[in-house]
Structure 1
């Protein structure tokens, strides 16, 4: 099962890779799948993302937008999308910018409460090409994995040509550092594009997740690994964000350095 990405661009724009979605058997395509999308100032990107998700041949796909009180009106746009796609788009409004991890926990909890069989994580900035989602779902159906990870660092995976040398080095170093500290057999330990079985998510005890920032991804992978969940990686092309600004800052970087050490210590204490 594979999808062939094709570049889409004009002479004045950077190349963006758009994978052709794979066709799934009817029973697989009809799975109760919820995509959780945290947002903060993503007014320029959210309508395009939701439109692309609704266009997939996945009739029971739902989207849960978790907005952290975005000053640019993202929450209001999400509400309009929920009316436009009635029954398929839900919105959680949080009163403050409380971190990516807490937003994902809120969205995943809602998805499980509403009966999702599978729960996907995606960034709102269009860096995760939507066309890979059926492939993630098909891989999960055809294996006994608890989670399928869209990986930049397995053979066939790639990064946007807009990523400079320093950014690539930093990303590669972060993955190597976390893998060394936590001894996880995952190539892309900071990946944010993945699909979970509902049963696997329930084993992770979402309310007790401690990471608030981007190390939420690492903590989820580590919990899944330590609890015996099979993790499968498939290659994806990771795009640069389409519009807006990155949310990375010094506090996020500090948490990224310290959290793996804390995770290892807490897991040893739990055992």
Structure 2
């Protein structure tokens, strides 16, 4: 497994890196970003995987969230994949919509044509990317996962379905019940087809209901109550009810006055990284 370094910057004593590689899972060329803290010069370090939201690439979080300062202090690597397959050969939404196709992979394994050849983001995040970076960089196999909006959905689903692989899960403004909201219904119909029973595998609220009584990683969710997408697309209330019914113990915090932007993420990213560090040790 090979990956090519495309860019490197020094930040807070560590290194912000950008790589390119050929993905067998996605059948295209992919780029991803990595922050290696200064501790990685002395030995392998644990990793927080960050999944970004609609329209983002691997560069939004690394340039806007201000996460490197705390990650450097805590000795955490950050691995930041792109949000979908890329390239001229990869199909896109016919109307150029922002919420489907390129930039909107929704972290599922597509089963429908023409999407299934490339849109296998679930397998890419769970298996191919960790195998690649852990084989080539000074990383342990200790992992946590986090994300924002569509990426918050991805982090919750992947963390819940692979509890043995992740020490902790966190999310900002996640789409918690995609099978019941417009963003999710559009994506799932396109990628997965019309059988809504198959959607449950990628719906964090459904998964939490099904996993009641099982050992799950610690979960932290922050949601701004001034988020313009809260009532239509995010619906934190669904997950709060499922969390209570399942006795899952997730921390779900409504943050007064905060919206859906990276200003919100930048405000609370330190708390999320410290949460993950406490569970990775």
Give TM-score scaled by structure 2 length: 0.31
Higher strand share: 2
Which of structures 1 and 2 has the larger relative contact order (alpha carbons within 8 angstroms, sep 6+)?
1
Give TM-score scaled by structure 1 length: 0.32
